[in-house]
Amino acid sequence: MLIGSEILTSAQMRAIESDAIGSGAVTGLALMEQAGAAAAALIQQATPSPKDVIVLCGPGNNGGDGYVVARHLHDAGWSVRVLGMDNTPGADAAHMKDMWLKRGQIRPLSDAQLMCEPPANIYVDAIFGTGLTRKVAGDLHRILLRLGGRNDDAERYSGRIYAIDCISGLDLDSGQMPGWSSEHMQHAPRANMTVAFHRPKPGHLLRPGCLLTGDLQIVDIGLPETKGTVSPAPPLQAIWPQFPFSRSQVRPAIAQRLAKSPLDHKFRHGHALVIAGGAEHAGAARLAARAALRIGAGLVTICPPSQAMPEHNTTPDALMRHPVDDTQELQDLLADPRITAICIGPGCGIARATALLPAILAAGRPCLLDADALTALSRDRSLFARLHEKCVMTPHEGEFSRLFPNIAAKQGRGPTDQLTPTPSRIDMLRMAAHQSNAVTLLKGPDTVIAAPTGACYIHTALDVPWLATAGSGDTLAGIATGLLARSLPATDAAALAALIHASAARKFGPGLIADDLPEQIPAILQMLLT
């Protein structure tokens, strides 16, 4: 698979820290010093003059990091004001607080105090991090709303907030702000940058957390390398816009499959069938077919009903065309073992998808199910029961709710003032993949992909809003189909397709239409393979 970044839950992160401290490899104080120093360095790099900062320090170790940030910025010549709590924190944070008190004073961490402070150029949110245990209430909640601009002074804070580990109040496991009503969420503080430690947490990458996180910077604080050894739980990996993606992130076995050798013939890279539907929706299937060709499938055949064949008598010339009117004709085609993947859904029509899906699923080949095929599956549970682990489903949220009504119904339930009040998108996708026995990719700015094994990938691409355009999903389906045809395992095909799809949009920029996406693929392949 792609080697994105490993993601850790808050509990896993705490366990790694306490193991490292318990083994004597590192001290809590050294970790805190590294964390604060790294955050201060990134804040300095990102900040133009004047170098004037208010650091908001909470009661625990996140606050401890804040006191380290304050000290480093002070020692670098910044004007630093600290608002902190009148409590005795744990030993490490208490030490850092004392070190700060040798340099400056601590004013009360209260909304009234923040309100009467003269404006600063930068605000550092070091109130709560991974230790959040309940919703933030009372005066601290008012502070957060003020930072989010609820008091008609948005310009005072906008673009000036730097979060230590996360925006305070964010549940780093679910990406939710427990206890925040939708009215309050409009005034949730948004970080310009979040400096987080060792590994990202799910909440940095899932909505709404990813919308509050800003640029996500992950810094090394001297904890031992943990990749793949954290827990027996299935792996959770992520890619996000600032992630330095390069060829080195593609596992050699995958890179080898994607590369083409001079001795290869076209069938070595697979033959994909794209089932098309009636004439009026021909474009969707052709977009998918074009993307499958661009990603390097050896052959791609589009299969409309015979009456729609004339609609497909157009470019790309590389695309083969073969009519399929009924199950028998499809079965005849599938008798060719060189057909290595099937795409059904884009522009197919629900009735046609319902009619052809039994033969497609019975063939046991890798297949990509999107759009009308997903509607057919949600309407006919006997079809749903025939999904298998070589299937990839690519629903958007509405399709997901129809496919998995029992899972979708768990959303929005439960008390909102406790942590993780509803299943996170990770939990939901893992349940969906387990229930369907198919790789499931839930499309969105925070796409989540889960395999029946429990392996899960988050692909956050908030920076390419222009990807939400007609035909974009058809292209994603085509890229994944091409990768399946090229014999990538279903989970890898889905995760790599999400990456290539977002990279194509990033490369093209605003003004993108879906037709542009396949045309960006050659340069992306070049980047991945050379």
Contacts with K ion by CB under 5 A lie at 125, 163-164, 168
Please, which residue, 172 or 303, has the CB nearer to K ion? Answer: 172
By CB under 6 A, the residues from 5 to 34 that bind ligand NAX are 17, 28, 31-32
Q: Is residue 62 within the footprint of ligand NAX (CB under 6 A)? A: yes
Can the peptide bond before residue 208 be classed as cis, meaning omega within 30 degrees of 0?
yes
Please, which residue, 33 or 516, has the CB nearer to ligand NAX? Answer: 33
Phi/psi at 65 (5° precision): -60, -40
Residue 125's binding partner among K ion, ligand NAX, none (Cβ under 5 to 8 angstroms by kind) is: K ion
Q: Is residue 171 within the footprint of ligand NAX (CB under 6 A)? A: no
Q: Is residue 165 within the footprint of ligand NAX (CB under 6 A)? A: yes
Q: Alpha-carbon distance 268 to 340, whole Å?
A: 10
Give pairs for 311-319: CB < 8 Å, separation 24+: 311/279, 311/282, 312/276, 312/282, 312/286, 314/286, 316/289, 316/290, 318/293, 319/286, 319/289, 319/290, 319/293
For residue 421, CA distances in Å to 33, 285, 434 come to 33, 40, 21
Please, which residue, 221 or 360, has the CB nearer to ligand NAX? Answer: 221
Binding site annotation covers 446?
A: yes
Q: Which of 35, 43, 275, 319 binds ligand NAX (CB under 6 A)?
A: 35
What does the block give as tokens for 367?
Answer: 């297949």
Find out whether 29 and 97 touch, Cβ atoms under 8 Å. Answer: no
Q: Alpha-carbon distance 221 to 16, whole Å?
A: 12
Q: Alpha-carbon distance 383 to 360, whole Å?
A: 10
Burial class (CB in 10 A: 0-12, 13-18, 19+), 372: buried
Min separation Cβ 422 and ligand NAX, Å: 18
Q: Which of 43, 47, 53, 65 binds ligand NAX (CB under 6 A)?
A: 65
Binding site annotation covers 129?
A: yes
Please, which residue, 87 or 186, has the CB nearer to ligand NAX? Answer: 87
Q: Which stretch binds ligand NAX (CB under 6 A): 73-81, 122-130, 180-188, 441-449?
A: 122-130
Q: Alpha-carbon distance 498 to 525, whole Å?
A: 14
Find out whether 109 and 56 touch, Cβ atoms under 8 Å. Answer: yes
Please, which residue, 35 or 273, has the CB nearer to ligand NAX? Answer: 35
Q: Is residue 60 within the footprint of ligand NAX (CB under 6 A)? A: yes
Q: Alpha-carbon distance 127 to 164, whole Å?
A: 8
CB within 8 A of 3, min separation 6: which ones?
237, 248, 249, 250, 251
Q: Which of 4, 58, 84, 482 binds ligand NAX (CB under 6 A)?
A: 58
Burial class (CB in 10 A: 0-12, 13-18, 19+), 317: exposed
By CB under 6 A, the residues from 129 to 158 that bind ligand NAX are 129-136
Residue 516's binding partner among ligand NAX, K ion, none (Cβ under 5 to 8 angstroms by kind) is: none
Binding site annotation covers 528?
A: no
Q: Is residue 84 within the footprint of ligand NAX (CB under 6 A)? A: no
Binding-site residues for AMP, in ranges, read: 443-447, 473
Binding residues: 61-65, 125, 129-135, 165, 168, 284, 347, 396, 443-447, 473-474
Which residues bind to ligand NAX, rule: CB under 6 A? Answer: 17, 28, 31-32, 35, 58-65, 128-136, 164-165, 197, 221
Tell me the binding residues for K(+): 62, 125, 168
